[in-house]
Amino acid sequence: MKFWDTSAIVPLCVVEPATAKVRALTRADPSMVVWWATRTECLSGFARMRRERKLPVATIARAEQVLVALAAEWSEVLPGEGLRERAERLLGIHSLRAADAFQLAAALVWSRGETSFHAVVSLDERLRDAASREGFRVMPT
């Protein structure tokens, strides 16, 4: 089981350069843990693609269906005061945006701080760097 960032979920739903890599990770281990807001973040990305006409409406609709199927199977780390405090601590240590700090804080909650035994799947370079500094194995390599 791995913690998945939104940046790695989107290529599971729409074809992007990283799609083959992240699909291979799900074939090897289909169990996913995500932050509570991941589904919303994905939908935000799809809406932006629709507004900017980067993908046809039918492709976006299919991506949303794939997302619903993924969300039905994954586990979510829920928000709470402890998670917010971790995210705020991470903002002072790493070069992260607030949403990425919540992602990493959720991964830390999920791993119970035993980061060396867990992996974070992300395509976001800042989040990858911060997760690595926190001791996570970062994927894809």
How far is residue 39's CA from residue 99's CA, in Å, rounded to a whole number?
13
What pLDDT shows up at residue 5? 98
CATH number at 40 reads 3.40.50.1010
What pLDDT shows up at residue 64? 98
Residues found in the chain: 141
DSSP symbols for 73-134? HSEEEPP-HHHHHHHHHHHHHS---HHHHHHHHHHHHHHTT-GGG-EEE---HHHHHHHHHT
Q: How many structural domains does the chain have? A: 1
> Domain range spanning residue 78?
2-139
- Average pLDDT per 10 consecutive residues for the chain, totaling 141 residues: 98 97 96 98 97 95 98 98 98 97 98 96 98 98 89
What pLDDT shows up at residue 15? 95
What pLDDT shows up at residue 26? 97
How far is residue 41's CA from residue 87's CA, in Å, rounded to a whole number?
17
